[in-house]
Amino acid sequence: MTQDVQFERVFADFNLEPFCGIFSQIQWRTVATFVEIAFVLFVAVTAITGNAIAAPDAKVLLKTKACGSCHIIPGVEGAYGKVGPTLKGLRERVRIVDGTMENNTKNLKAWLKNPKSIKSGTLMPNMGLTDDEIEIVIEYLNML
């Protein structure tokens, strides 16, 4: 509710009086509506993609560790592997590791720290990620 009020206040202050001679009031309302829509779309797109784009550390880390050799990872250059599952939409999955684990941060951390301790026959290697690196990777993957 507060955000709606603030949003309306911003556009209530959008003064069109200096331009009233150019267009009719109805035309200005239409223009103002389009400006509002464009602003809302801009904010929405920034919120959705901005975080993933603003994660250069994660992208460099995923590329350096060659995760893209096995996985498709949106936003990581050359990450088109087909051995492991795509990491796109990982946060939306209910289960991970071939359905053996609930998809949550704790389980994902354990998996990335030492995959073979979770599933002995996995092809996923231990990449030697530190706890901080695991946090960075999980944060990035949750944005995809």
57: confidence class by pLDDT, cuts 50, 70, 90? confident
Note if the pTM is more than 0.85.
Answer: no
* Domain boundary residue, one of 37, 53, 69: 53
Q: In sequence order, what E strands does the chain have?
A: 95-96, 101-102
Residue 59 token pair? 């992208």
Return the ∠ at Cα 34 (arms to 30 and 35), rounded to 5°: 115
CATH of the domain at 122: 2.60.40.420
Structural domain boundaries enclosing 43: 2-53
Q: What is the pLDDT of residues 18-40, one digit of tens each?
A: 655 666 666 657 766 777 887 77
Per the structure, how many domains does the chain have? 2
Contact status, residue 136 vs residue 62, Cβ threshold 8 Å = no
Average confidence score pLDDT of the chain: 81
Closest by CA position to 101, among listed 91, 111, 92: 111
Give 67-104 pLDDT, tens digit per residue: 999 999 999 999 999 999 999 999 999 999 999 999 99
